[in-house]
């Protein structure tokens, strides 16, 4: 009879451990939250946007509609913030990715415009196409912000 008690206790303990949720944690990787192609690109923000405009026009259009629905102050903030991101080297971009993955309050622009970086970070396929083709575009083309 004692064997059955031990077996039942063991099963109960296993069930508790299996069904109890673990502690959630987030760590950045080379693919999350920012895809590795974006972390490693040598293109400027203007080159990348021009490439996305031509390779994934629907995503570019959606982003620009959202962008144009923001105040001029938030638009400028988004342009400045993404230009700052593109100005960093791989290590800086990787650290930014880590900071945004582990601290919801790190990116204050996201509290004013949650999708401010959607064109740049959120879609791995768009990033892959944009970063693959961006080198063929002019480094400085402010017209990519006008749609």
User: Does some domain include residue 95?
Assistant: yes
Spatial separation of the C-alpha atoms in residues 132 and 126, rounded to whole Å:
10
Across 11-32, average pLDDT: 56
- Choice between 70 and 20, residue whose per-residue pLDDT is larger: 70
Given pLDDT bands bounded at 50, 70 and 90, which one contains residue 27? low
The answer to whether residue 6 scores a pLDDT higher than 60 is: no
Looking at beta carbons, which pairs linking 78-81 to residues 24 or more positions away fall under 8 Å? 78/109, 78/113, 78/116, 78/117, 79/45, 79/145, 81/109, 81/116, 81/117
Q: pLDDT at position 18, please?
A: 46
Q: pLDDT at position 66, please?
A: 98
Across 72-88, average pLDDT: 98
Spatial separation of the C-alpha atoms in residues 106 and 67, rounded to whole Å:
21
User: Does some domain include residue 77?
Assistant: yes
| Cα–Cα distance list, 20 to 9, 13, 14, 15, 26 (Å) | 16, 11, 10, 8, 19
User: Does some domain include residue 100?
Assistant: yes
Q: Which domain covers residue 32, as residue numbers? A: 28-145
Is the separation of the CB atoms in 13 and 7 below 8 Å?
no
Closest CA to 144 of 55, 51, 75, 76: 51
User: Does some domain include residue 9?
Assistant: no
Given pLDDT bands bounded at 50, 70 and 90, which one contains residue 1? low
| Distance between first and last Cα of the chain | 78
User: Does some domain include residue 5?
Assistant: no
User: Does some domain include residue 132?
Assistant: yes
91-143 confidence digits (pLDDT tens): 999 999 999 999 989 999 999 999 999 999 988 899 999 999 999 999 999 99
Instruction: Tell me the average pLDDT of the chain.
Output: 88
* pTM (two decimals): 0.80
Number of domains observed in the structure of the chain: 1
Across 67-85, average pLDDT: 98
User: Does some domain include residue 14?
Assistant: no
Cα Rg of the chain (Å, integer): 22
């Amino acid at each position: 009879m004692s064997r059955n008690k031990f077996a039942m206790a063991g099963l109960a303990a296993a069930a508790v451990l299996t069904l109890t949720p673990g502690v959630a944690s987030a760590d950045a990787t080379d693919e999350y939250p920012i895809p590795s192609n974006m972390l490693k690109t040598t293109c400027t923000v203007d080159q990348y946007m021009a490439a996305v405009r031509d390779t994934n026009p629907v995503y570019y259009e959606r982003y620009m509609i959202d962008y144009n629905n923001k105040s001029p102050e938030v638009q400028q903030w988004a342009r400045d913030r993404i230009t700052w991101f593109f100005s960093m080297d791989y290590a800086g971009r990787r650290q930014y990715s880590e900071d945004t993955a582990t601290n919801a309050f790190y990116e204050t622009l996201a509290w004013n415009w949650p999708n401010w970086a959607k064109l740049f970070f959120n879609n791995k396929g768009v990033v892959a196409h944009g970063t693959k083709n961006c080198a063929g575009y002019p480094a400085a083309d402010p017209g990519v912000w006008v749609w």
